[in-house]
Amino acid sequence: MKLHEYQSKDLLAKYGVAVPGGQVTSDPEEARKIAEDLGGSCVVKAQVLMGGRGKAGGVKLFDNADDAGTFAKELLGKKLVSIQNPDGMIVEQILIGELIDIAEEYYLSVLLDRAEQKLVVMISKEGGVEIEQVAHDTPEAIVRLHVDNAWGLDTFQVRDAVAQANIPAKAQRQMVAMIIKLVEAYRGSDAEMIEINPVAWTPDGKLIAADAKVALDDSALFRHKEFAATADESAEHPIEAEAARRGIAYVNLGGEIGIMGNGAGLVMCSLDEVNAAGASPANFLDVGGGAKAERVKSCIELVLMDENVTGLLINIFGGITRCDEVAKGILQAFDEMEVNIPVVARVEGTAAEEGLRLLEGSQIIGAQTMQEAAAKIVAAVKA
Ligand code: GDP
Ligand code: MN
């Protein structure tokens, strides 16, 4: 789940990171008042879940409240389009922030390096709106510092990395402290990504997070109810958002064969088999254990919300759950809904024969192995 800038800043402030003051609103008149309270000097920033707002015209600096109010009115309801987000996003909220004087702009982020299986802190002296260009043209200008899983970060390592990144001596001490706080915030909030760009260095010698982007791990949101309540789904796939509401593990993959299976590993194998059979899977979906008719129905509904789906593959392995029970669930679900695309079900494990027998005579084509099931659904769709 992606957090808005103002939420990200609130989160980071709790961990002691310096952030500018400010307030969020969706009302232009209130925006003017907030600007007035800030003494007129302020920055008005679109709160949309996309990068490159500055270049898209979603960030503007002001020296008086009236101009800020006029711009707020213009910005609210407008669609912002950036290179990172060519489809654009409508501005529904804006942040009126305290204007900070920026002398230099640095870059910091924390994310997971999957290859190293460690957190990595990325540090650069070349922050600001051109960071993508920097990463592309001079990747050596971004220093990577891995966090040891057992020992965490040691201050001397951070100091070394900050110096390697050529952060000016005057800002090094505060930069080191900010990095340590960011890693704490990352761990404490179960984040997937934290990015501060720019990290602003002010003429009076303060290091401040002038922008912040935090994404939290959806699977850990139950530990962070305060954020779950304010989830903004505008940057999510609509079916994935619906699946999250229903408590179903679903990932859209963009292909044509809808998939439903029990157990994440089995579903992953099903995706591979569909690929091997010459088609592409539309989704990942783990129906979970038990799989009563109500849940099966809810899952099939989800898969069919995707208009690209032209066939459905069901892959069930009965362990403690008996296949005949699952087959009953599937039949009952199909009874209550109209499915007019080919459906193949592979049923194996405890009481598989009974399960397959139950499916006989229904619209569902039975299969005994995953390979057979994948071949059958791909053939049925291509026919
Ligand atoms: P982004 O383009 O979506 O990453 O939005 P940012 O919040 O990073 O804003 C873009 C640029 O606007 C920053 O790189 C800064 O140069 C500038 N900016 C944002 N906030 C302030 C501020 O409070 N003071 C000053 N002087 N510039 C700001
Ligand atoms: Mn930024």
Asked whether this chain's domains 104-228 and 238-382 adopt the same fold, the reply is no
Res 294: pLDDT: 82
CA of 58 to the centre of ligand 1 (A): 10
Residue among 12, 19, 43 whose CB has most ligand 1 atoms within 8 A, to mutate? 43
Higher pLDDT, 224 or 235: 224
Q: Rounded mean pLDDT of 208-229?
A: 90
Res 2: pLDDT: 92
Tens of pLDDT along 290-335? 667 788 889 999 999 999 999 999 998 888 878 888 888 889 888 8
Question: What letter would DSSP give residue 32?
Answer: H
Tens of pLDDT along 82-93? 888 888 999 999
Q: Ligand 1, residue 20: give the atom nearest the CA.
A: 23
Tens of pLDDT along 163-183? 999 999 999 999 999 999 999
Res 227: pLDDT: 81
Q: Whose CA is nearest to atom 24 of ligand 1?
A: 100
User: Is-contact 8 110, C-beta < 8 A?
Assistant: no
Name 64's Cβ contacts closer than 8 Å, sequence gap at least 6: 35, 40
* Identity of the amino acid at 46: A
Res 245: pLDDT: 87
The domain segmentation of the chain, as residue ranges, is 21-98, 104-228, 238-382
Residue among 4, 101, 102, 105 whose CB has most ligand 1 atoms within 8 A, to mutate? 102
Angle, alpha carbons 15-18-20 (nearest 5°): 125
Residue among 4, 47, 75, 129 whose CB has most ligand 1 atoms within 8 A, to mutate? 129
**pLDDT for residue 380 is more than 80:** yes
203 vs 21, 193, 196, 207, CA distance in Å?
A: 18, 29, 19, 10
Element (H, E) at 108: strand 104-113
CA of 211 to the centre of ligand 1 (A): 7
Ligand with smallest separation from the Cα of 54: 1
The DSSP result for 215-235, as a single string, is EE-GGGGGG-HHHHTT--GGG
Tracing tokens 């009974």 back to the chain, one arrives at: 354
Q: Which residues are catalytic?
A: 107, 195
Q: Rounded mean pLDDT of 198-227?
A: 94
Q: Ligand 1, residue 98: give the atom nearest the CA.
A: 23
List helix spans (H) across the chain: 5-14, 28-37, 65-75, 131-137, 155-164, 169-188, 225-228, 238-246, 264-276, 293-305, 323-336, 352-359, 370-382
Q: Ligand 1, residue 127: give the atom nearest the CA.
A: 14
Which listed CATH number (3.30.1490.20, 3.40.50.300, 3.30.450.20, 3.90.950.20) goes with 21-98?
3.30.1490.20
CA of 234 to the centre of ligand 2 (A): 19
CA of 102 to the centre of ligand 1 (A): 9
**pLDDT for residue 76 is more than 70:** yes
Name 193's Cβ contacts closer than 8 Å, sequence gap at least 6: 109, 110, 111, 112, 213, 214, 215
Tens of pLDDT along 232-251? 777 789 999 899 889 899 99
Report the chain's mean pLDDT, rounded to a whole number. 94
Instruction: Judge if pTM exceeds 0.85.
Output: no
Q: Whose CA is nearest to atom 16 of ligand 1?
A: 128
Question: What letter would DSSP give residue 3?
Answer: P
**pLDDT for residue 230 is more than 90:** no
CA atoms within a 13 Å half-sphere pointing along the CA-CB vector of 96: 33
Res 290: pLDDT: 67
The DSSP result for 302-360, as a single string, is HHHHSTT--EEEEEEEESSS-HHHHHHHHHHHHHHS---S-EEEEEEETTHHHHHHHHT
Ligand with smallest separation from the Cα of 4: 1
CA of 196 to the centre of ligand 2 (A): 7
Q: Confidence band (pLDDT; 50, 70, 90) for 274?
A: very high
CA of 3 to the centre of ligand 2 (A): 14
Q: Ligand 1, residue 53: give the atom nearest the CA.
A: 3
Ligand with smallest separation from the Cα of 52: 1
Cβ < 6 Å from ligand 1: which residues?
Answer: 20, 43, 45, 51-54, 59, 61, 97, 99-100, 102, 105, 128-129, 197-198, 210-211
Q: Whose CA is nearest to atom 19 of ligand 1?
A: 210
Which listed CATH number (3.10.310.30, 1.10.10.10, 3.30.70.2500, 3.40.50.261) goes with 238-382?
3.40.50.261
Res 318: pLDDT: 86
**pLDDT for residue 228 is more than 80:** no
Fold of the CATH domain 104-228: D-amino Acid Aminotransferase; Chain A, domain 1 (3.30.470)
